Amino acid sequence: MARLCTIRDVDWRGKTAVVRVDFNVPLGRQDGRVADDTRIRAALPTLQYLRQHGARVVLLSHLGRPDGKRDAKYSLQPVADRLGELLGSSCPFGSDCVGQAAQSAVRAIGPGEVVLLENVRFHPEEEANDPGFAADLARLGDVFVNDAFGTAHRAHASTEGLAHHLPAIAGLLMEKEIVTIGEALDNPKRPFVAVVGGAKVSSKLAVLENLIDRVDRLLIGGGMANTFLAARGEQVGRSLLEADLVPTARDLMRRGDKILLPSDVVVTTDLKAADTQPRACASDAVGPDEIIGDIGPRTAADFGQAIQAAGTVLWNGPMGIFEDPRFADGTLQVARAMAASRATTIVGGGESVQAVEQAGVADKLSHVSTGGGASLEFIEGKVLPGVAALRSDC
């Protein structure tokens, strides 16, 4: 794609940046404080650049799903408190994102200062991408900066609508996400290995279709691998299976020898009984009453070897029922293999990101995407509305 205009292309002296960030972070149930500030920290390079270059910085974000109504449990006030701690200076908070309260909060800051406004989803017009609401948001500043890759797949007023009212450019996080994942897809260091997991083929079919002709190896794990094992003629017992997609899986497997499936798996007869001891077995030795919960140790080693030999590795989706410790090892082994690889390593998707953090290796990877659903759709090859709205004519 063409180079996006970014915050580096603007003289910020005397200007106010309206920055869409993704501060949809978990809050502690007991104290209401930010429980995980990963997404806030990811936005800091953009905020620091704007501050250092004299911009007045107005931040917009959503938090949770308040369904267009004001709800105190979804207020961004705790996020403003945490952001102030990270910036090393107080971060004023505006009690609304439009209207007099918002305008007053913006007028109160000077060059190099930041204000966070209240949850844009307190207004139903946000998710409806209402032009009037977008125009109200645009009155807050001079330039629209989208740094919220995690919401770029949504055509909302604060992600796409604003671009019709103000010059729209990318923040540094948005640029990094688009360039890093885009380069991996279009110009990867070879061999290019993709690791795809998750529960269902149906949820990742577009990903598989977009990757199969781009990659050198496609490693498939998770519940979706069951459909491919069935396409290979193997029995999967009572495991999750999308029988209607077995022919599709078979067609994908016929497109060369790129796909590497599990050769062994970890199975159980009862997913709910935590004291039930799982067993590892060959993928073609699953009993009629057994359920596949993870890739087996031999498969994890095979996947690790493919990752070690790669020039680029793109990972989306866990290798098993990751939330159950009995079936987490395959996912964690993939995370450790990526950390030990010399390849360009990119992780996208909530559970995959959780896995690399749990394994303690996130800082050893080239890029851990903040995108979630946006990164998935980008890997699928879809046009993201929040990206398409940005300028490339700098």
Question: Distance (Å, rounded) from C-alpha 295 to C-alpha 371?
Answer: 26
> In the numeric block, which tokens belong to residue 234?
């193997």
DSSP string, 106-138: HHT--TT-EEEE--GGGSHHHHTT-HHHHHHHH
Cβ distance 181 to 346 under 8 Å?
yes
Residues with Cβ < 8 Å from 65, sequence gap 6 or more?
Answer: 74, 121
Catalytic residues: 39, 200, 350, 373
Residues with Cβ < 8 Å from 253, sequence gap 6 or more?
Answer: 228, 231, 232, 259
Question: Distance (Å, rounded) from C-alpha 327 to C-alpha 341?
Answer: 23
Provide the Cα torsion 89, 92, 98, 100; round to 10°. Answer: -140
Question: Distance (Å, rounded) from C-alpha 54 to C-alpha 65?
Answer: 34
Question: Distance (Å, rounded) from C-alpha 392 to C-alpha 394?
Answer: 6
